[in-house]
Structure 1
Amino acid sequence: MSKPEFFVTPGYGDYLRENLHYSQAVKVGNRIETSGQGGWDDEFNIPPSLADEIGQAFANLTRTLTAAGAGWEHVVHVNSYHVGGFPPEVNEAMVKWYRHYMPNHAPIWTQVGVESLGLPTMRIEIRVTAIIP
């Protein structure tokens, strides 16, 4: 078995590693797992718009995948966690970003409704699994 290699997303990941003692991604062999990425900026501000928050979570996943040596073309599984249920704008935004970042494949996806997330203002958190051929 390959030795796990941990990655920290530059910016907010440095703060989370230092203060909450966790990494943003781990690579074992050709498999990368990310921790949940929220729609925060580097100062942990959350956009007022849910659609913008979802877009920022995808942007943060891009940063995290890049830090671990992967890209969206390698993503095979997505878990998304949602506060406030599933109004139409949730799936509209998720599908918009799926088609933007993964135009040539459709990953498997699990959506879960939750009561709360790591920051009181968060409404979405997304984690992915990537396989590098």
Structure 2
Amino acid sequence: MSNATFHVTPGYGEILLKALGYSQAVRVDQRVETSGQGGWDDDLNIPDSIEEEIVRAFENVERTLATCGATWKDVIHVNSYHKVPQGQDVIGQDHNDVMAEQFRACLGGRAPVWTQTGVTVLGLPAMRIEIRVTAVINDEH
């Protein structure tokens, strides 16, 4: 039988566990699933800049993966949720440009599968991006 271990990111993860009762990641054998990671700081503040918010969300994914012994280089699937401004029906190019830039910076040439979804709201009122991933840990890194 597989063992599931739940992991909490230090800082914001501890706040969310206490407030809402959930963990940031679960590891089952070599597989890691994260909850959605926003572009928040440890006090759940969201930056004004969409670029900074996306970069910080990627950093938070990295921090959360690390609690399970994984890195971006282990990621096989990315789901990203993008708040679409009222009156628009597409995810903005500003989101796509930064996402692509961060994929190149964090994945070292790998290209996991990616599902991008436009939404009307996210967990915090100021959020415009949330990223969740699936990783399979490669014991060779």
TM-score interval (norm. to shorter): over 0.9
- Structure 1: unaligned runs, 5 residues or longer: none
Query: Does the residue aligned with 2:18 lie in a helix, a strand or coil?
Result: helix
Paired with 1:29 and 1:107, the residues of 2 have a C-alpha distance of 20
Q: Residue 66 of structure 1 corresponds to which residue in structure 2?
A: 66
Is residue 2:127 matched to residue 1:127? Answer: no
Paired with 1:25 and 1:87, the residues of 2 have a C-alpha distance of 28
Q: Residue 91 of structure 2 corresponds to which residue in structure 1?
A: 86
Paired AA for residue 136 in structure 2: I
Q: Which has the larger radius of gyration?
A: 2
Q: Residue 27 of structure 1 corresponds to which residue in structure 2?
A: 27
Q: How many residue pairs end up in the alignment?
A: 133
Alignment of 1:39-50 (within 5 A): 39-50=39-50
Q: How far is 1:23 from its partner?
A: 0.1
What is the TM-score of this pair, normalised by structure 2?
0.92
Query: Does the residue aligned with 1:117 lie in a helix, a strand or coil?
Result: coil
Query: Does the residue aligned with 1:26 lie in a helix, a strand or coil?
Result: strand
Give the fraction of aligned pairs with identical amino acids, expressed as a percent.
56
Q: How far is 1:43 from its partner?
A: 0.8
CA RMSD, aligned part only? 0.8
- Structure 2: unaligned runs, 5 residues or longer: 85-89
Paired with 1:67 and 1:55, the residues of 2 have a C-alpha distance of 19
Paired with 1:98 and 1:130, the residues of 2 have a C-alpha distance of 14
Q: How far is 1:70 from its partner?
A: 0.3
Q: How far is 1:30 from its partner?
A: 0.6
What is the TM-score of this pair, normalised by structure 1?
0.97
Structure 1 runs of 4+ with >4 Å offset = none
Query: Does the residue aligned with 1:97 lie in a helix, a strand or coil?
Result: helix
Q: How far is 1:63 from its partner?
A: 0.4
Q: How far is 1:68 from its partner?
A: 1.0
